């Protein structure tokens, strides 16, 4: 083995302005609060920092990008390679005319509020999505009748080798909670089309969305939001309910009593408990209604038994 290959991933990194942490806990960075560690976690200070690392990174090292982990299940064996998390250096929000520009690390709720404050309508739905703009653009996040594909003007992303590209909405080939964006592409920022509106009416709509959410979702719990996508013309929660899965448990992992398309970690659930519970729900729904539910939650990493020494 060559001397360079014997070095740890951290030792092979160039000097950066941001943070590089070896064997970093990802459980604290995911809403489920469970799962293993990242071999190396990188929180770049800015775009230049990120590009520098990507250009330096050996092609054999896998990369995984995460937002605030509101739609993620980190498996118990952790994630090999470099895990990239865009934070403060990517959270700028600014308006130009009817266009709202936001960094990939900006929280959706902050973007919705900033647009409202500037009398720009159309992004109210983002108040109901507790993730970042990067995650929203990747997942085609949506709520209450609107989704990212309805408002995206364009986005900038960087590829595995540090090349920045501008992407048009058609490049994402959006469908329900899905984009065709390659997993190795990292969204850096996005611009959204909005329309002139009345600030008070926009805020009123946002309040309505927030209170409907509070009534129907188990907010304040360790969850990953909707577990399964709604099949065409049907509601996943109804199929789960009819299959008798409401409240079903494996250890500390439970199908929410309040909204049965949400899984909850009551504290001690492993990622395996949550994934096994989700799979049990899928097979019961298949038996009961013939429908194969598709995971909306994204899994990253390896199961514990595959954990590398
Ligand atoms: C209580 C609750 C309610 C929710 N309600 C909704 C809802 O109403 N509508 C909805 O759509 N979702 C909802 N979600 C799910 C989640 O908030 C969204 O999917 C959100 O867009 C995920 O953003 P994130 O930053 O947390 O991404 P993460 O969960 O960290 O990652 C999700 C995916 O996005 C990718 N990703 C993250 N950042 C980037 C980036 N910069 N570039 C490229 N890829 C990236 C990750 O690789 C991963 O595949 C809810 C979640 C919770 C916990």
| pLDDT tens, position by position, 110-123 | 999 999 999 999 99
Nearest CA to ligand 1 atom 1: 225
Q: Which of 177, 222, 282, 284 is catalytic?
A: 177
CB distance 154 to 169 below 8 Å: yes
Angstrom distance (rounded) from CA 264 to CA 260: 10
Q: What pLDDT score was predicted for residue 309?
A: 45
Give distance in angstroms: CA of 107 to centre of ligand 1: 10
Q: How far is CA 61 from CA 31, 83, 257, in A?
A: 26, 10, 41
Q: What pLDDT score was predicted for residue 5?
A: 65
- Ramachandran region of residue 40, left (φ > 0), alpha (ψ -120 to 50) or beta? beta
Distance, C-alpha 7 to centroid of its chain: 31
The structural domains of the chain, ordered by start, are 3-88 (3.30.43.10), 90-202 (3.30.465.10), 230-293 (3.90.78.10)
- Nearest alpha carbon to residue 164 among 287, 52, 14, 296: 52
Q: What pLDDT score was predicted for residue 1?
A: 55
Say yes or no: CB of residue 293 within 6 Å of ligand 1.
no
Q: What pLDDT score was predicted for residue 51?
A: 98
Ligand 1 site-directed mutation target among 90, 128, 134, most atoms within 8 Å of CB:
134
Q: What pLDDT score was predicted for residue 239?
A: 98
CB distance 281 to 243 below 8 Å: yes
Length of the chain: 309
Angstrom distance (rounded) from CA 187 to CA 66: 11
Q: What pLDDT score was predicted for residue 3?
A: 60
Q: 37-43 and 79-85 as β-strands: parallel, antiparallel, unpaired?
A: parallel
Backbone angles phi, psi at 260, to 5 degrees: -80, 5
| pLDDT tens, position by position, 223-261 | 999 999 999 999 999 999 999 999 999 999 999 999 999
Q: What pLDDT score was predicted for residue 218?
A: 86
The alpha carbon dihedral of 73, 78, 82, 85 has a sign of: positive
Whether 177 is catalytic:
yes
Q: Which residues of the chain have pLDDT under 50?
A: 308-309
Q: What pLDDT score was predicted for residue 237?
A: 97
Say yes or no: CB of residue 44 within 6 Å of ligand 1.
no
Give distance in angstroms: CA of 17 to centre of ligand 1: 26
CB distance 14 to 52 below 8 Å: yes
Ligand 1 site-directed mutation target among 131, 148, 220, 264, most atoms within 8 Å of CB:
131
CB distance 41 to 98 below 8 Å: no
How far apart are the two ends of the chain, measured CA to CA in Å? 18
Helix axes 199-216, 108-117, angle to 10 degrees: 150
């Amino acid at each position: 083995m060559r001397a360079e290959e014997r070095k740890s991933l951290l030792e092979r990194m160039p000097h950066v302005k941001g943070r590089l942490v070896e064997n970093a806990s990802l459980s604290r960075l995911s809403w489920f609060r469970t799962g293993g560690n990242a071999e190396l976690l990188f929180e770049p200070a800015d775009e230049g920092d990120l590009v520098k690392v990507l250009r330096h990174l050996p092609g054999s090292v896998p990369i995984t990008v995460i937002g605030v982990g509101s739609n993620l299940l980190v498996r118990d064996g952790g994630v090999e390679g470099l895990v990239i998390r865009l934070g403060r250096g990517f959270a700028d929000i600014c308006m130009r005319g009817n266009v709202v520009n936001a960094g990939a690390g900006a929280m959706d709720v902050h973007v919705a509020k900033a647009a409202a404050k500037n009398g720009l309508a159309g992004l109210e739905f983002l108040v109901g999505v507790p993730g970042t703009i990067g995650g929203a653009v990747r997942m085609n996040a949506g709520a209450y009748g609107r989704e990212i594909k309805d408002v995206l003007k364009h986005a900038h992303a960087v590829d595995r080798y540090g090349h920045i590209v501008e992407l048009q909405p058609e490049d994402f080939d959006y469908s329900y909670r899905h984009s065709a964006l390659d997993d190795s592409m990292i969204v850096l920022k996005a611009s959204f089309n909005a329309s002139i509106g009345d600030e008070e009416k926009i805020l009123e709509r946002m309040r309505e969305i927030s209170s409907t959410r509070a009534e129907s979702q188990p907010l304040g719990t360790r969850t990953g939001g909707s577990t399964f996508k709604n099949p065409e013309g049907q509601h996943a929660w109804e199929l789960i309910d009819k299959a008798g899965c409401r409240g079903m448990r494996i250890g500390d992992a439970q199908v929410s009593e309040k909204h049965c398309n949400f899984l909850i970690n009551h504290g001690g659930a492993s990622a395996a408990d949550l994934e096994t519970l989700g799979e049990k729900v899928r097979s019961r729904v298949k038996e009961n209604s013939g429908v194969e539910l598709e995971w909306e939650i994204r899994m990253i990493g390896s199961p514990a038994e595959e954990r590398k020494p």
